[in-house]
Structure 1
Amino acid sequence: MKKRRLGLYDLAASIFVVGCLIFLLAPEASHRGEAQWPFVVFGGGAVLLALLLAAFAMLRRRLLPAVGKKSADPCAVDFENLSEEFRTRFPDGGMERCDFRPHFDGFAVNAWSAMLPVGNEQTTREAALALLNEVAAWLRDHSGAFQVGDRLQLIVGFPESVKHAGRQIFKCWLPASGLDRLQGLDFAAVGGAFHELESWPVGVVWPNAEPAHAREAAATLGMSSQSHAPPA
């Protein structure tokens, strides 16, 4: 078990306790007829020193630059830069990760991008596949930025402006070790999986869909023209 290093706050707390104990000895000394001033001086000095140490520790913590804290973990800085590049390439998406050790030896990385419906269900599915392919290709080109034990999940779906639930169209995953060998969307060939959510078209208003009143008007017009048409 790794031991925790004592910091300035711990030292200040210890000195403060000692100072308080010295103060408590002053009445006992007075009761015995001894001088109280040594206890008051040393006790007060210890308390003052503890307060100064605590103030110094607080000041040092506030003066530490945030950049210095980030630079302590180069991998975190590299991934943050990679996420920024991903968002630049896919403005409606993002990328984040979570440490999944010891469940597996690496991070779970989520890379996603949203899109709006295009035309109808079929054209939207084709556009989603094309977007998924672009995300996979971008990750493959940056495969060296991931650790061997990482697992990547790729998601393409709708934003909340389209619908609130069931927005995912495709959800795929693969190990980072197979990313550089990925061909197109053949995730299974590199130890991953491809999954299309069945409910993604439900509740979507397609841009090319005719309003109900327009369809009824067209049907009525068609029936009227047929009734007045000459026999074939």
Structure 2
Amino acid sequence: MTDNSNVMLDESLARSLASGHDYDSSLGVESQLEQLDYNGKGLEPPSIDTSFVDGIVNFLSSLPTLVWVILGIVVVALLLYWMSRAGLLNISKKKDDDDAFDEEDDVYKIDFDEEMEQALRNQDHAAIVRLVYLRTLRTLDERKLIHWHLSKTPTQFARELNVEAFSTMTRHFLRVRYGKFAASKKMSDEMQTLSEEVLKEKGGEE
């Protein structure tokens, strides 16, 4: 009885070892097949050279923080510039001599007699400077000496007329209207005199 048991155990062990050997062998074959390319040639899988990428990453990581800050500022500035040129930004800026007139300065929508009377009554010299200048512009346009348009600038009109007295009037107007200069009676009186000089030189009395 004992001999038969030993034989059975030996046979079971032999079968286990045989099956284990076959399993290991199959694993070996599969691993060998994985190393074959699509042509069946026994070649090692191609390796990717990452030294160049690693070099760039190492270089960028070695840059000081200040460099990154400067680069960030440059990128933001370029982005804002592009958005401004594309009209995507609505940034208000101070009015200067390169800007067109405001809507309320349209010379054909102003009642000069009424507004001038009120300015003189209130001794509002800033208003007088503005009204004298704009009234002069309207007269010059009516005489075809300039071409009035609200989108044009005071500097453009001064260049268009090319008269020294009118250039002086333009400077006074810009200082008072957009530079918030406190006009005096002397300046408002000078504007009246300069206007008469310009209109006399360019076609007779006003």
- Per residue, is there more strand in 1 or in 2? 1
Q: Report which structure shows greater RCO (CA 8 Å, sep ≥6).
A: 2
Higher-helix-fraction structure: 2
Q: Please indicate, yes or no, whether the TM-score normalized by the shorter chain is above 0.5.
A: no
TM-score scaled by length of structure 1: 0.26
